[in-house]
Structure 1
Amino acid sequence: MKDGIAHILRALHRGERRLARDLSTAAERHAEEHEIHHVATDLAAWSREHAERLAELAAGDGLRLDDDIPEPLPADGPGALLLLHDLRALHLAATENSLHWEMLAQAAQASRDERLLSLVSACHPQTLRQLRWSDTMVKQLSPQLLTSL
């Protein structure tokens, strides 16, 4: 496996694990917001699956991906601001993952790597859904939350 592809696989694996953890944290932290709780829980499962699939693909090429889990979301501030902070962090993490999936897609096409292209085709659309969900939540909740403070 080329060093550049290995680098992006590592970054994406870390990013998916972080996003899964952060989505689960947000779901627990904002359990009273039913849509946040339920959808974030489902989206976290997608990211856990993405990380597992990335690790399997990399292992098939003799590459071991880092198992370290990044630092969790900080837990400070009033509830409304904390919710918006969490949604912002989730959106940025999903954006970063989406860019990494796109880089892998381009590399897979250039190298004609069908296994990698198949993985990207299966996972990237779910990451785009995570991105759209976080954006929608910010748009729906920020007017009410920010004007109520």
Structure 2
Amino acid sequence: MSRAISFAALMLALSLGQSAFGQAEQKETDAEKHDRLKMNVQAICPISGNKLGEHGDPIKVKVGEEQVFLCCKGCLEKKIDPKHWETIHENFAKAQSICPVMEKALPAQPKWTVVEGQIVYVCCPPCIDKIKAESAKYLAAVDAAYEQYLKDRRSSPSGE
């Protein structure tokens, strides 16, 4: 009887450990998906203007509070080209297209904030506080907008 209880306890402990391990793997997969979406929306290197992926796997870097991707290690020590930086942010705003809080179209000159390395555009300053208070919810909404944008872009005849 004692062996059966010990065996059952061991099996329970192992299954809980595997469950926790599976959850850790899922979080990593979610992070990889987020990075893939950001890379595809960003599209170009802020240094060279080259398409991301043309020179191997893009490199994730931090610029101020924001996480972006470079096309290669050769760009690590170089300065950002303001023209490419502007294009990247236009890409992010176009792909996001709506305020994740109010769920309405972004204005021509949207306000923005950076949360967990991600730039998030909003329709008005009060939405910034809401995004910071519930960042996971609104970052997921931005990722969903990116995913829809990329899907729509792939299915359009011009690819744009």
Q: TM-score, length-normalised on structure 2? A: 0.29
> Which is richer in strand?
2
Q: Larger Cα Rg: Structure 1 or Structure 2?
A: 2
> Which is richer in helix?
1
